[in-house]
Amino acid sequence: MEKLIIKGGTRLSGEVVISGAKNAAIAILPATLLIDGVCTIENLPNISDVQIQCKILEELGAKIDWITSNSARIDTTNILSYKAPLDMTSKFRASYYFIGSLLGRCHNAETGLPGGCKLGARPIDQHIKGFEALGATVDVANGKIVASANKLTGSSIYMDTVSVGATINVMLSAVLAEGTTTIDNAAKEPHIVDVANFLNTMGADIRGAGTDIIKVNGVKSLKGGATYSVVPDQIEAGTFMLAAIASKGDITIKNCISEHLDCLTAKILEMGGNVEESGDEIRVWCDKRPQKTNIKTAPYPGFPTDLQAQMGVVLSIAEGTSIISENIWESRFQYTYELNKMGANITAQGKTAFFEGVESLSGAPVCATDLRAGAALIIAGIIANGTTELYNLEHIDRGYENIEMKFRNLGANIVRIRE
Ligand code: EPZ
């Protein structure tokens, strides 16, 4: 088993380069199945979710040549099966994108029910609603999702809930459908825009991604033949911005799109931090204890739920009492129990958590309860007095490339050891 040993008391400073966005990459890779040809994808983050997605693609018949550890040439001319391996697809959440892309390409799809971070029920009713509106029949039984359609016909779909996954999945299944599909009440995250841009680069006709209404005009085929670079990861960038505030440090985040982080920047300024944007760089620094603030997570462009835990670390040592309302997931406060082991004073009740700011945290053995909680606990270990041991690193490795090296380059005393 692996663990991180973090010796705390560090003020982080220096530069960090942001990797490609996990939540864009793990939708773009299944989307390559819609291409009857070859494409090249650059700026892929080197993380385990990407590696699993590529293994599934190869199981389905794709040929993948890695040009570097972050770019690959993918040939999906010959897709031999529409059945994604159940053992692999149940390992993580984004496996559900194989349903939309295989349904779009083969008019058939079979995958395991998705896994992923334990954040609550994580239903897929809106995905199924979209597939059925296009003419597919979908059965969910025995841990499998089986979808099939004689043909897929464009339709108008209103999303009952703003859903990143369902918006992307319906987009994938509509690209090669006959006629126009309208997705109303669509999610607007940067990774949705990135998937649409990728598909349009390969010959699709998708309009309005990033707004509430997305129109997909079905095309006969996607020939590919182009190269696409994955958008920088706004959540990784936000993680380092909050690490700068928590550690009273000074970090320049490179290769990021500052507009994607406007909500976080506003909250950092509210807490007394400083932010300077210039081109694809954001400098964040703070030389005093952050002030309290209140957070309500919401779909983009609201405060991202995927930065909630990292913000929780800042609020745990902020001046005063802060409140976080988690409005996306039923159960995303498990990390607060780990922070309380480090001396924080947090009371989590249902969708609300109350943070009584303390002067400082103390190192302790803690466990990552999900991907973003893991990143948050690394920040907590870096600012705590004493030593922190962090377990369950597999959660973190799913979504952050070389995270301990990036923090070490900013001055953190952090090593990974195998027990
Ligand atoms: C994506 O999950 C991300 N994962 C999550 O990031 C992120 O927290 C979430 O979007 C919200 O931004 C990936 O992109 C792989 P949703 P997803 O569908 O698509 C409800 C991370 O840390 N809902 O937008 O599963 C759902 O229960 C991960 O990178 C339905 O009710 O999220 C939730 O309350 C964690 N029915 C809300 O919508 C559905 O059919 C938003 O879920 C689908 C969703």
Q: Which of 211, 119, 125 is nearest to 160 (CA)?
A: 125
CA 164–ligand 1 middle distance (angstroms) = 6
CA 252–ligand 1 middle distance (angstroms) = 29
Residues of the chain below pLDDT 70: none
CA 99–ligand 1 middle distance (angstroms) = 16
- Report which DSSP code applies to 160: S
Residue 415: per-residue pLDDT: 97
Q: What is the C-alpha separation between 261 and 234, in angstroms, rounded?
A: 7
Active site residue 117: yes
Q: What is the C-alpha separation between 1 and 22, in angstroms, rounded?
A: 24
Write the class of the CATH domain 22-229: alpha beta
Residue 300: per-residue pLDDT: 98
Ligand 1: atom nearest CA of 370 is 22
Dump pLDDT digits (tens) for 104-152.
999 999 998 887 777 777 789 999 999 999 999 999 988 899 999 999 9
- Is the backbone peptide bond immediately before 301 cis, with ω within 30 degrees of 0? yes
Q: Whose CA is nearest to atom 21 of ligand 1?
A: 306
Residue ranges of E strands in 235-280: 250-254, 274-278
CATH H superfamily, domain 2-19+232-418: Enolpyruvate transferase domain (3.65.10.10)
CA 117–ligand 1 middle distance (angstroms) = 10
How many CB atoms are closer than 10 A to CB 236? 27
Dump pLDDT digits (tens) for 327-381.
999 889 999 999 999 999 999 999 999 999 999 999 999 999 999 999 999 999 9
CA 9–ligand 1 middle distance (angstroms) = 35
Q: CATH 3.65.10.10 occupies which residues in the chain?
A: 2-19+232-418, 22-229
Residue 344: per-residue pLDDT: 98
Residue 64: per-residue pLDDT: 98
Residue 9: per-residue pLDDT: 95
Q: Whose CA is nearest to atom 42 of ligand 1?
A: 163
Q: State which of 161, 297, 329, 332 you would mutate to test the pocket of ligand 1, scoring each by most atoms of that ligand within 8 A of its C-beta.
A: 161
Q: What is the C-alpha separation between 90 and 92, in angstroms, rounded?
A: 6
Q: Kindly name the residue from 39, 54, 106, 117 that is annotated as catalytic.
A: 117
Residue ranges of E strands in 244-402: 250-254, 274-278, 281-285, 294-296, 321-325, 346-349, 352-356, 365-367, 387-391
Residue 223: per-residue pLDDT: 87
Ligand 1: atom nearest CA of 121 is 27
Ligand 1: atom nearest CA of 371 is 22
CA 163–ligand 1 middle distance (angstroms) = 6
Residue 192: per-residue pLDDT: 98
Q: State which of 122, 300, 326, 334 you would mutate to test the pocket of ligand 1, scoring each by most atoms of that ligand within 8 A of its C-beta.
A: 122
Residue 92: per-residue pLDDT: 80
Ligand 1 binding pocket, CB closer than 6 Å = 22-23, 26, 93-94, 117, 121-127, 161, 163-166, 187, 305-306, 328-329, 371-372, 399
